[in-house]
Chain A
């Protein structure tokens, strides 16, 4: 019974992620309406055939804005995970390679930031660097570095002890070549799984920042920002508060499920051990 369930994780996650990515890609060539075009005669329209998800306080089409919002979320996810993974893998690999005081120094520094909540740090950083999508990506990405550094170091340490690494050393391969060709390919699976989970968290963090007015700036569409604007008009048009939130939940659920599915797929050891 467990095996098909694992496939369900991967399948469901894959489908949900595909829907979000497809909506984002499609928005470059087609949206039902211009997401930023105001139409004051068509404000607060409930969902109907001409506007499937209704319109907002400026008469903008919610479906078009939700589609454009997907682009934001995906870009933030990619860049934040890219920053965190790029620097984190570098630091973690070096710490595992160096050992000793340099390893301890890096890891203690990493530990300081590891325990600090990313959302709070991102709020502080974006408020100082200035609101905007670029700064929010940076802020979220910076606080992903410790997560990837710890993971990389932990997994790399055990790989450095393996016989095939010893053999590579014995045949005279340089440390750089061993890290590139032996260590990194072997730590890729846990990194991919972690990246998927962090992608979901980045979407949540960006939405929270945009909700607070520190992320994507108007008039550009962002799910968090749309929820912020919706709160004022919730009494007259509740759908404004429903669809952007639903989009966030679907995206996060998709990436979380995909992460679970990939974990099962890429880590056979875990699959055997799991009950």
Chain B
């Protein structure tokens, strides 16, 4: 167990270093001078020189990378060029939108998908099962941003139940903040619900065919007991794993959906920073998303290894 966790932590550190290197290279080795890109073609040589110095662009590339990593380790992401405030606090303020949005989306997905998946498995090859599978296929095909636009059309434009976009801070009105995240979360959660429904169904079908389920039935247990007490718990393992892995995709998907609903989240911050050529914010924001994804994947991997020792035994084999 200890060796397994140590191995995973080493892989995590190596992955984070590689990801940070990739983001750094992509943003620095591209043709053109970042300072010129930021300040535009009318910038004077003095201002260009000053910005290059401020961003440490006048240092050799490997030195810049080591310096950046050193600052990252100390929690210093640098200062935003556009907002002129520390990037760490800027990102932190945007997480109050993105994190609840991701959590709400996954909650929606779970609430819809697990009962539907279990129902479909229990009614395999019957009309109810086909209905659920059609729903999941449609859910997979509808882009989250189009779902968002349709929800705005229905719930904001036609019914006027929600605002078409924007965000009310949690400190001002918690209910307002929650309400402004509902439609975006529903849009983001739709495709996740479709994936989870399919997985829950296939996982339940697999477990329901196992010998111990047959034994449970032959003991005379009620179908409810068999399904919910014996099969459901075991079928949940892969579902929980996928829920964890989907958090990463949700964070990435938030970039588009935050733009649809005009939410001041991390995704929109990165997107606007790209337009404003605020490279330190793009760098810091993308690294944070990458970091969260890698850490979530690592945690899922590690928990899975602890819960199911068979995955540990297979580790390292080609």
Task: Give residues in A with beta carbon < 8 Å to B.
Answer: 1-2, 99, 103, 108-109, 111-113, 115-117, 119-120, 123-125, 127-129, 157, 200, 204, 207-208, 211-212, 224, 227, 230-231, 234-235, 238, 241-242, 245, 248-250, 252-253, 256-257, 275
Task: Check if A123 sits within 8 Å of B253, measured CB to CB.
Answer: no
Task: Check if B252 sits within 8 Å of A117, measured CB to CB.
Answer: yes
Task: Check if A248 sits within 8 Å of B124, measured CB to CB.
Answer: no
Interface residue? B294 (CB, 8 A): yes
Task: Check if B137 sits within 8 Å of A256, measured CB to CB.
Answer: yes
Q: How long is the Cα–Cα vector from A120 to B15 in the complex, in angstroms?
A: 17
Q: How long is the Cα–Cα vector from A173 to B249 in the complex, in angstroms?
A: 45
Contacts of B290 in A (CB 8 A): 116
Task: Check if A238 sits within 8 Å of B153, measured CB to CB.
Answer: yes
Task: Check if A212 sits within 8 Å of B259, measured CB to CB.
Answer: yes
Known contacts: A2-B125, A112-B19. The answer to whether A120 contacts B255 by CB under 8 A is yes
Q: How long is the Cα–Cα vector from A129 to B29 in the complex, in angstroms?
A: 11
Interface residue? B106 (CB, 8 A): no
Q: How long is the Cα–Cα vector from A207 to B18 in the complex, in angstroms?
A: 29
Known contacts: A234-B152, A234-B153. The answer to whether A249 contacts B15 by CB under 8 A is no
List of 8 A-B pairs having minimum Cβ-Cβ separation, nearest first: A117-B252, A245-B146, A120-B252, A253-B141, A127-B274, A252-B141, A249-B141, A112-B18
Interface residue? B205 (CB, 8 A): yes
Contacts of B143 in A (CB 8 A): 204, 207-208, 245, 248-249, 252
Task: Check if A231 sits within 8 Å of B260, measured CB to CB.
Answer: yes
Query: Taking CB as reference atom, which chain B residue is nearest A244?
Result: B146
Q: How long is the Cα–Cα vector from A2 to B150 in the complex, in angstroms?
A: 34
Task: Check if A227 sits within 8 Å of B271, measured CB to CB.
Answer: no
Contacts of B255 in A (CB 8 A): 119-120, 123, 212
Q: Chain B, 249-285, contact with A by CB distance < 8 Å: what is the 0/1 string?
A: 1011101100110000000001100110000001000
Contacts of A127 in B (CB 8 A): 274-275, 282
Task: Check if B146 sits within 8 Å of A275, measured CB to CB.
Answer: no
Q: How long is the Cα–Cα vector from A230 to B145 in the complex, in angstroms?
A: 12
Contacts of A208 in B (CB 8 A): 143, 145, 256
Minimum C-beta distance from B217 to chain A (A): 17
Known contacts: A157-B318, A208-B256. The answer to whether A117 contacts B157 by CB under 8 A is no
Task: Check if B260 sits within 8 Å of A249, measured CB to CB.
Answer: no
Q: How long is the Cα–Cα vector from A99 to B248 in the complex, in angstroms?
A: 30
Interface residue? B1 (CB, 8 A): no
Q: How many residues of B contact A (CB 8 A)?
A: 48
Contacts of B248 in A (CB 8 A): 115, 117
A-B contact pairs, 8 of them (CB 8 A): A103-B318, A108-B11, A115-B294, A128-B30, A227-B149, A231-B149, A245-B150, A256-B140
Task: Check if B125 sits within 8 Å of A1, measured CB to CB.
Answer: yes
Known contacts: A119-B253, A211-B145, A248-B146. The answer to whether A124 contacts B26 by CB under 8 A is yes
Q: How long is the Cα–Cα vector from A127 to B259 in the complex, in angstroms?
A: 15
Q: How long is the Cα–Cα vector from A128 to B22 in the complex, in angstroms?
A: 13
Known contacts: A124-B26, A208-B256, A238-B157. The answer to whether A275 contacts B209 by CB under 8 A is yes
Known contacts: A227-B146, A249-B143. The answer to whether A120 contacts B318 by CB under 8 A is no
Task: Check if A211 sits within 8 Å of B256, measured CB to CB.
Answer: yes
Known contacts: A119-B255, A227-B145, A248-B146. The answer to whether A275 contacts B205 by CB under 8 A is yes
Minimum C-beta distance from B261 to chain A (A): 10
Minimum C-beta distance from A64 to chain B (A): 20
Q: Chain B, 113-157, contact with A by CB distance < 8 Å: what is the 0/1 string?
A: 000000000001100000000000110111101100110110001
Interface residue? B27 (CB, 8 A): yes
Task: Check if A116 sits within 8 Å of B271, measured CB to CB.
Answer: no
Task: Check if B149 sits within 8 Å of A245, measured CB to CB.
Answer: yes
Task: Check if A256 sits within 8 Å of B149, measured CB to CB.
Answer: no
Contacts of B197 in A (CB 8 A): none
Task: Check if B286 sits within 8 Å of A241, measured CB to CB.
Answer: no
Contacts of A103 in B (CB 8 A): 318
Contacts of B125 in A (CB 8 A): 1-2
Task: Check if B253 sits within 8 Å of A249, measured CB to CB.
Answer: no
Q: How long is the Cα–Cα vector from A117 to B143 in the complex, in angstroms?
A: 15
Task: Check if B146 sits within 8 Å of A249, measured CB to CB.
Answer: yes
Task: Check if A234 sits within 8 Å of B149, measured CB to CB.
Answer: yes
Q: Kindly list 18 other residue pairs between chains A and B, CB separation below 8 angstroms, not including A207-B146, A253-B137.
A: A1-B125, A2-B125, A108-B14, A112-B15, A115-B294, A116-B293, A119-B255, A120-B252, A123-B274, A157-B318, A207-B145, A241-B153, A242-B150, A245-B142, A245-B143, A245-B149, A249-B142, A253-B140
